[in-house]
Structure formats: structure tokens, C-alpha cells
Amino acid sequence: MTNNKRLLTKDEEISHGMKIQSAAQASNIILREVEAFMQSEPSSETTLRIRLIIDKSKNLEYNFKKIEEISKVLIAELSPESSAKEQLLRTNLAKVKEGGWAKGQMIVRNQGLVRKLAMAHSSQYVAQDDLIQQGNEGLIRAVEKFDPDMGNKFSTYARDWIKQTINRYVDEQHTIKVPEYLRNKIMRIRKAQNTYLQAMGKEATISVLASECEMSENEVETLLSIKPDAVSLNKSFGEGESDLENFIEDEKSLTPEDAAEETMVKEKLKSALEALSPDERVVIVRRYALDGKGKATLKEIGDDLGLSKEAVRLKEQRVLRKLQMSADLQHLSRIE
């Protein structure tokens, strides 16, 4: 019986690392075949199924589970005369499966390192399961980035990735104020994620988490989309700029590894903005960079709207007061 608590030897790390990189190369070969098929059959049911599997996946060449799903869908669609293409897909699919197993081993065997580093950052302000989840995100990226030809010991290489993701998360907690009942639900999901990852060596799907936590898939997706930098939900709007910014994610703190999903806070804010007049919406969206293009000055907005700086300032204050009375945002401020 395999001892999942035993650290991998250096030779095992190199062997697993080589299998993972070989699987990533095989994934890219498969993805090229998939792309060619989708371009030739853009409206087919198979193309639609593949798009649904891919969805918004990042680092797809390392998402070996999805590569397996995509490959099986495409192989089932191939005609008998496409035997050479089928053989190409099956040959590379075998490498992907082997890489998936190796990736799982490296994740499972390094859980002790993740827990050790998570415990070093444990405090009353940050849940242990959240730290472990963040550490595992760093571990997964380390597994994917590890180059066995460099001669480095994996645990040494992974330590920096794990510490970086945990440290960034802890730093971001200074701005977090998520309602307690939502925090509890998120913690439940995180715990289920960690348990599944440690047992299976791969990340749980949304459907698995929904079943385990007795929530709908939509609720799980929504809760997981609340980023650490989505700040206070408990404060009501004031007239000052800083109060409004409490409802806005800090886009600069998003990392390439994190998906830029819609949060429940943004949905409420979007609903409140839709009730404004076009000019009012322009003022708020551009003044607080809600369009992702950076904050505009009063003069810049005034030039676009044909108004003076003072007129824009007064309009901004009126809109902030109006937003303060918004039912959507008042609902957020009452959440406990």
C-alpha cells in the first residue's frame, strides 16, 4: 500500500516532473487537433460540448482531467477513415493520463509541506482551511512549472510558490470584511476542496463540491468567485470616495492564477448603477474606474460631458447620496 505521507525522493520528483511536462506537450498536440476540428465544424454539437468543457479554463495544457474529457469527445466523433488521427490522439492521451497520475502524486505527497507553511501563518483572523487552500494553489502551480532538468529539489522550489500565495492572501485579509454567514459557507467549501485534493490528488469539480456541501452548483460558483480582495460588505455608502471604494475589487491585486469572476457585491453594485441616468453612470464608472480603465479626473469627465469640473463634482456627490439610498446596497450593508 502506498504511503501518501512519505515525501517523494529526488529521483521520484524528477521522474514525475518529466511525466508532467511530457503530458503538457501531449496536451498541446491534442489541443491543436481539437482546434482544427472546431474550426472545420464550428456549429456542430461536438464543438459545443468541447467549448463547455473548456469553458474559462486557464493553463489548459496542465488540466489533464479536462484534456482527457476533450479527447474522448473528439475520438468518439472521428470517422473510421480517421484511424491515423485517432491513433495520434490515443497515444498522446496515454501520456496525459500518466502525467495526471504523476501530478496527483506530487500534490498528495507534499500536503505536509503545505500544512506546515499554512500553520506558520495561522492566526485568529485567517481560517486554517483558507490558508491550506491558498497554499495548495501555489503547490499546483509549482508542480506545473517545475523543470526536472534544472536539478533543483522540488520541495525547495515549491516552498517559494506556496509561501508567496499564502503571504499574498494573508496581506489581503487586512481589507476583507465578508459577512459571517458567507464566510462560514466559503470555509465549508474550502474544507471540502482540501479534503478532496488531499485524498484524490486533483481538484474537486463544482458538482462534487455542491453535493458535498449541500449547496447548488450556482451557489458554490458564486461563493468561490468572491476574491480575497473583494472588500467590506458591512459598511454602508458614505459621501466620501473611500466609502465607495469599499465596494470595489482592487483590480491591481488580481493575479494571473485567479479567475476574474463576477462577485455578488459587483452584481449588486451593477444593479444599483443601472438605475442611474446615463450621465450619472458615466461619472461614477469613470471616476472610480469601474470600467477597468483607470480613474478619470473631474476635468476629463467634464470635457466628455460638456460640463465644468465643479458641475461634475456636484453631480458625483449627488450620485453618491443616491447610491447610499439604493435598496441593493442597503441590503448589502444589512448582511450579518
Query: Domain boundaries in the chain?
Result: 10-109, 241-334
Q: Give the per-residue pLDDT at 327.
A: 59
What is the per-residue DSSP string for 275-306?
Answer: TS-HHHHHHHHHHTTTTSS-PPPHHHHHHHHT
Q: Give the per-residue pLDDT at 243.
A: 41
* Helices and strands: H and E segment counts in the chain: 16, 0
Spatial separation of the C-alpha atoms in residues 220 and 302, rounded to whole Å: 42
CB-based contact 94:67 (threshold 8 Å):
no
CA of 259: how far to CAs of 73, 177, 216, 316, in Å?
26, 20, 20, 31
Q: Give the per-residue pLDDT at 330.
A: 53
Q: Give the per-residue pLDDT at 12.
A: 92
DSSP 229: T
Q: Give the per-residue pLDDT at 239.
A: 38
Q: Give the per-residue pLDDT at 73.
A: 92
Q: What is the residue whose three cell numbers read 480575497?
A: 228
Q: What is the residue whose three cell numbers read 463547455?
A: 52
Q: Could you give the dihedral angle defined by the CA atoms of residues 113, 117, 118 and 121, in that order, rounded to the nearest 10 degrees? A: 170
Residue 140 one-letter amino acid: I
Give which of 219, 194, 196, 226 is closest to 208, Cα–Cα.
196
**Inter-axis angle of helices 217-224 and 206-213, nearest 10:** 110
Spatial separation of the C-alpha atoms in residues 75 and 69, rounded to whole Å: 10
Spatial separation of the C-alpha atoms in residues 167 and 111, rounded to whole Å: 17
Tell if the pTM clears 0.75, that is, is over it. no
Q: Give the per-residue pLDDT at 123.
A: 66
Q: Which SS3 state, helix, strand or coil, does residue 93 take?
A: helix
CB-based contact 162:139 (threshold 8 Å):
yes
Q: Give the per-residue pLDDT at 195.
A: 86
Q: What is the residue whose three cell numbers read 476542496?
A: 193
If one counts every other C-beta atom within 10 angstroms of the C-beta of residue 2, the result is 8
Phi, psi (rounded to 5 degrees) for 113: -65, -40
pLDDT single digits (tens) 304-332: 888 888 888 888 888 888 777 765 555 44
Spatial separation of the C-alpha atoms in residues 205 and 72, rounded to whole Å: 18
Q: Which SS3 state, helix, strand or coil, does residue 157 take?
A: helix
Phi, psi (rounded to 5 degrees) for 123: -155, 170
Spatial separation of the C-alpha atoms in residues 292 and 285, rounded to whole Å: 9
DSSP 148: G
Q: Give the per-residue pLDDT at 256.
A: 27
Q: Give the per-residue pLDDT at 83.
A: 87
241-334 CATH pick, 3.50.50.60, 1.20.120.530, 1.10.10.10, 1.10.1060.10: 1.10.10.10
Q: Give the per-residue pLDDT at 187.
A: 84
pLDDT tens string for the chain (336 positions)? 345 567 888 899 999 999 999 999 999 999 999 999 999 998 899 999 998 888 767 778 889 999 999 999 999 988 877 889 999 999 999 999 999 999 999 999 999 999 999 888 776 567 788 889 899 999 999 999 998 888 778 888 888 889 888 888 877 765 545 667 777 888 889 889 888 888 887 788 888 999 999 888 888 888 887 654 443 334 333 333 334 344 434 434 433 233 223 334 455 566 777 778 888 888 888 887 777 677 788 888 888 888 888 888 888 888 888 777 765 555 444 433
